[in-house]
Amino acid sequence: MLATKRRQAIFGLLALFSIIFAACSPAAQPTATAPAGATAAKGGATPAAAQPKNGGIINIRNSCAPPHLDPHQTLITCYHGSSAGLAYDGLLMYEMSEKASPLDFNVVPNLAESWANPDPKTYTFKLRQGAKFHNIPPVNGREVTAQDAVYSFNRMSTRGWVNSSMFTMVDKWEAVDKSTVKATLKNPSASFLNLVANGYSVIVAKEAVDVNGDLKKGPVIGTAGWVWVAEEYDANVKSVLKKNPDFYLKGLPYADGIVSTYIADLATRKAAFRTKKVDREGFGKKDLEVFVKEFPEIVTSQDRSWSGGNLRWKVDRPPLSDVRVRRAISKAIDRQALIDTAYFGAGWISMGVTLPGLDWMLPEKEITEAAKRDVAEAKKLLTEAGYDKGFNIEMVVAGTYDGYTTAAELVQDQLKEAGINVTLKMVDSPTYTERILTAPGDFSGMFLGPWGMPTEATMILNLTYKSDGSMNTSGHKDPKLDKMIEEQETTLDPAKRKEQLLAIQRYLLENLYTMNPAPWSSEGAGMRWPYLKGIYNSAASDFPSNRYWYYAWLDK
């Protein structure tokens, strides 16, 4: 049974940042008073407000200890969004404005000041003038060139790496000249620009990679407004970044730096926020109510996220090779109980696939029916599959992440009612991200852990559901599904693509290569002290983005 104290835990990992992805006319040069992309045409202009102040250190919390420092070999958001990953930029980014939300993926310029799409299979990006790498040896502050972008995109596509499935649609990256990058696609792609904009597609310098052969031990040398301070780093304690004095967006960031402290324990997190050692946090709804009652001045926000819990299983071996067994497990699990008991209501039920919008998800009636718990039906399915007496199975759990031990014990109890005896095996953060989450997946039965959802449907489908996906830990081989995934990516008509993605979701429900609907998706209850200003909603607030903190300033 669940221990009382474990029932009090809450999933904090993805509530604030979910661990935590056509032709375009040139956008106006971003200024120090408005987020990039917050133009009058988009309705996202900065509202009249107090004049931002320069200086001060922003204190944030990191949700886990990053396994290493190579941005192209990890998708974990505690690295990209709260640690050394903040030092890197990409060609494009997601818009930040008062009207955006974590479910919006409006693409705007970043290192590229503009882009063009002269035909369905060709994209060109024009780099900003004056953009430089950080002044750290051996790169020493040199200008960013098109060749750096070509090198970076080719590098992140290295076969077997966790993000290698992102740009399979690209035939060739080229440096047309010093400041022009050209991408030639094999086929038209509805996903391409979104994937270029996601916070994982960052530009690195070859000289930095050559120091150690990869970037797992650094050096961390990016182009962003934040410079990572290597001598102050301890993955299990803190990560420190300082303002880049040579940043190409003059006047930004406003703050002098960011200190990201690793805090796993829930009680310690609450104490750190209460005493203002952390300027912003994310808790469950009940905790939010407690804090607001105690501190009425706290600024709060609640937003849904595609990210959340992730339960997968091996389908290339018994008993999970039988789809009836997978359906039985899905039917035996009470997703709403996971949300209510372990997540304190700060979650919602989704298909576990990032989509272009909520209206691209299956109708609520279908989702509700698929997620409905039915233990009798689970037992019936097990009997039909020849497991009328149940079976034993091991479930690996990302136990060092907030709340996942609690969730695992609840799942263990629920499956036991259907006759399935689950043995739990706890693993630490590096083991989970490096060995469990990446194909072929170092587990024998099932695993439960966090999943910072990729920013585009094609990305998660290629990573997790494509037969050769770098995160296909289930081990399935399905040519029909592969073809469905490829066809939706090359469909540029939104209405037609929507129908294709609806068909894929129904196919996933039928075959259950992972648990769909997902165990839960996050519905964050964020809070910040009123002195922390300049915070804008966007997909970048749920997915990695150094830009999220550029406009933040401290009024104290």
Contacts of residue 290, Cβ cutoff 8 Å, sequence gap at least 6: none
Query: Residue 100: which pLDDT band, with cuts at 50, 70 and 90?
Result: low
28-32, 160-164, 185-189, 497-501, range with the lowest pLDDT: 28-32
Q: Greater confidence, 286 or 152? A: 152
Higher pLDDT, 514 or 525: 514
* Domain range list for the chain: 4-9+305-522
Query: Is residue 280 scored above 70 in pLDDT?
Result: yes
Q: Which residues have C-beta within 8 Å of that of residue 108, sequence separation ≥ 6?
A: 27, 36, 37, 92, 93, 94, 95, 197
Check whether 497 has a pLDDT greater than 60.
yes
Distance from the first to the final alpha carbon of the chain: 47
Return the amino acid letter for 143: E
The predicted structure's pLDDT at residue 545: 60
Chain-centroid distance, C-alpha 16: 11
Burial class (CB in 10 A: 0-12, 13-18, 19+), 413: middle
Per-residue pLDDT of 148-167, as tens digits, reads 999 999 999 988 787 777 88
Residue 97, Ramachandran bin (φ over 0: left; ψ between -120 and 50: alpha; else beta): beta
Mean pLDDT of 416-439: 91
DSSP three-state, residue 115: strand
DSSP string, 391-420: EEEEEEEETTSTTHHHHHHHHHHHHHHTTE
pLDDT grade for 10, boundaries at 50, 70 and 90: very low
- Given a cut of 90, whether residue 512 has pLDDT beyond it is yes
Residue 123 in contact with residue 182, Cβ under 8 Å?
Answer: yes
Distance separating alpha carbons of residues 215 and 384, to the nearest angstrom: 51
Q: In 3-state terms, what secondary structure has residue 454?
A: coil
Q: 133 is written with which tokens? A: 């790498």
Q: What is the DSSP string of 128-191?
A: PTT-B--S-TTTTTPBP-HHHHHHHHHHHT-TTSTTTTTTTTEEEEEEEETTEEEEEESS--SS
Collapsed DSSP state (helix, strand, coil) of residue 308: strand
| d(C-alpha 188, C-alpha 52), whole Å | 43
Residue type, 163: N
pLDDT surpassing 50 at residue 308: yes
Report the distance separating Cα 545 and Cα 436, nearest Å: 25
- Give the per-residue pLDDT at 322: 98
404-417 vs 323-332: helix axis angle to the nearest 10?
110
Pairing mode, if any, of strands 391-398 and 446-451?
parallel
* Peptide bond preceding 517 in cis form (omega within 30 of 0): yes
Determine the Cα–Cα distance for residues 112 and 124; give it in Å rounded to an integer.
10
* CATH number among 3.40.50.1820, 3.10.105.10, 3.50.50.60, 3.90.1200.10, domain 4-9+305-522: 3.10.105.10
What is the average per-residue pLDDT within 237-253? 95
| CA–CA dist 94, 538 (Å, integer) | 7
Q: What mean pLDDT comes out for the span 306-322?
A: 93
Q: What is the pLDDT of residue 323?
A: 98
354-387 per-position pLDDT tens digit: 888 888 999 999 999 999 999 999 999 999 999 9
pLDDT digits (tens, 9 = 90+) for 396-408: 999 766 678 889 9
The pLDDT of residue 441 is above 80? yes
Q: Read off the amino acid at residue 247.
A: F
SS3 84: helix
Q: For the packed helices 266-274 and 285-294, what is the interaxial angle rounded to 10 degrees?
A: 30
Residue 251, phi then psi, degrees to nearest 5: 95, -10
Angle, alpha carbons 91-94-97 (nearest 5°): 135
Euclidean distance between CA atoms 317 and 477, whole angstroms: 12
CA distances for 176 relative to 149, 205, 276, angstroms:
11, 18, 50
pTM here is 0.75
- Residue 455: per-residue pLDDT: 75
